[in-house]
Amino acid sequence: MPIYEYQCQACGHHLEIMHKMSEEPSKECPQCKQPELSRQISAAGFRLAGGGWYETDFKSGSKKNLADSGGSSSKSDSGTSAAPAA
């Protein structure tokens, strides 16, 4: 679930709320109880983890799988290198 930043237009209180993308945005400020919350635009912070995701999309050589706990991948990289640019 993503974390959304909100600011109350009535009292200026700033907070972060975690809820589903399909849920309606929160309206009531927990501090002043007024229905004046507005969602702020902020950078999304997330990390793709699990089998098949890599640190970058265009990594060459030995790819580092984020799901590996050892720091470097023990899988061979044969057959996955890109052809040289013409």
- E strand or H helix that includes residue 38: strand 37-39
Kind and range of the H or E run holding 8: strand 3-8
Judged against a pLDDT cut of 70, whether residue 60 lies above it is answered with no
Provide the pLDDT confidence category of residue 56 given band limits of 50, 70 and 90. low
Q: What is the DSSP string of 46-79?
A: ----STT-BS-TT--SS--BTT-SSSS--S--TT
Residue 30 has what pLDDT? 94
Write down the pLDDT at residue 76.
Answer: 46
